[in-house]
Copies of this chain bind each other. A is one copy, B any other.
């Protein structure tokens, strides 16, 4: 016998598979749920089951949403002329939190990787090309991560779009608002220096 038993133990093991939760924090989370079974655990289980059942990738942009069509593609107020290409739904959420982008998205769901057999087809790049034609897109913003794989993928997309009369941009690199130089990696500081502006 070693701590919690049976279904409680299984629940802790499942919780420990979530990012940021190890065995210890999974145990604490389950304990909190056990203490608040009616107020927290039951509603959480219900909402999780609903989302697991009803969440779908949007056929247009790849965003994940619940209950039919993606809110962004369905919103009449969102500009159709601009597509922001992101690696992941997490990046789409981050862009939306910023609140500055009013266009639509294309979620790649990953980056090009020969090792993992992820090619342009897997990232929906033919679908992106079709959208550019169909939606009369004038600008594609490549908001990929500043990793080697992200930038390789960005360059591939930029090359593919060349000659199609669409403006290709990427997010500016620089010092984050409130960012302390001391905590930034050297690459960010160099990029910010190269892109320096008149004060």
Contacts and interface: CB of A to CB of B under 8 A. Distances in A.
Contacts of A45: 45-46, 48-49, 52
Number of copies of this chain in the oligomer? 2
Nearest to A77: B1
Interface string A1-37: 1111111101100110111110001011111111001
Given A8-B66, A65-B5, A66-B6, A49 B49 contact: yes
A124 B18 CA distance: 36
- The SS class assigned to the A binding surface is helix
Interface string A121-143: 00000000000000000000000
Given A34-B51, A41-B51, 8 more contacts: A1-B96, A2-B96, A10-B47, A11-B44, A11-B51, A14-B43, A19-B28, A19-B32
